[in-house]
Chains A and B, each alone.
Chain A
Amino acid sequence: QVQLQQSGPGLMKPSQTLSLTCAISGDSVSNNGATWNWIRQSPSRGLEWLGRTYYRSKWYNDYAVSVKSRITINPDTSENQFSLQLNSVTPEDTAVYYCARALTSTGGNWFDPWGQGTLVTVSS
């Protein structure tokens, strides 16, 4: 059974860098039939896919245009986890952040499982 465990701070000040980690058990971040995603949820923006990292003989990333200039998603094969960094946060980045796997070997990109979620609040 695949499980994702998130960690990282929940309170930040504007202009700081948000850093979250998602530890994987029951699968490998290098699984070439999966992608590893970050998704956030806020009352104003709903569920918003932020980006993904995945391995297909080499590492790839895709990012949402809305955050593309500020986001980095990195795999960590030694710890079997992946991370999210979001630079220059503002109060608009306040949201619950989730990591999630998509098993692309199915041909699809639905998200299962999800991490437990981390509420990140950006406030001065």
Chain B
Amino acid sequence: DIVMTQSPDSLAVSLGGRATINCKSSQSVLYSSNNKNYLAWYQQKPGQPPKVLIYWASTRESGVPDRFSGSGSGTDFTLTISSLQAEDVAVYYCQQYYSTPFTFGPGTKVDIK
């Protein structure tokens, strides 16, 4: 199984500040034949299911604000919230879909400082 890790476990950022979340996979999720990284990011607010923000490591889902961006390749990935808003308080997860079983990171909680 591909093991996903995230850092930090939690962070507090001032409104308008930048939040950076890291995700690492135990093996590469870059598929060489199409040069795509099989990595998605989700946002989960209390009492709600996760909501996909980004797929293919850097493609924003329709309707997701452009302050959310994803980067990275291979085994190391980053989700950046460029200007944190109050509604961004949530837990963020990465997920690999390179191979089954599909696996998720443990989550990073983002709060307002």
Write the residues of chain A forming the contact surface with B, with a CB cutoff of 8 angstroms: 46-49, 62, 64-65, 98, 100, 102, 106-112, 114-117
Contacts and interface: CB of A to CB of B under 8 A. Distances in A.
A62 B101 CA distance: 9
Given A109-B97, A110-B55, 17 more contacts: A46-B105, A47-B95, A47-B104, A47-B107, A49-B103, A64-B100, A64-B101, A65-B101, A108-B38, A108-B55, A108-B56, A109-B102, A111-B52, A111-B95, A112-B51, A112-B52, A115-B49
Main SS at interface, chain B: loop
Nearest to A114: B49
A78 B106 CA distance: 37
Contact of B49 (A65, A109, A117): A117
Nearest to A117: B49
A47 B49 contact: no
Interface of B: 34, 36, 38, 40, 42, 49-52, 55-56, 61, 93, 95, 97, 100-107
B107 A108 contact: no
A62 B93 contact: no
Nearest to A99: B49
Contact of A49 (B61, B101, B107): B101
Nearest to A66: B101
Given A62-B100, A64-B101, A46 B106 contact: yes
B75 to A, nearest CB: 18
A47 B38 contact: no
A98 B104 CA distance: 14
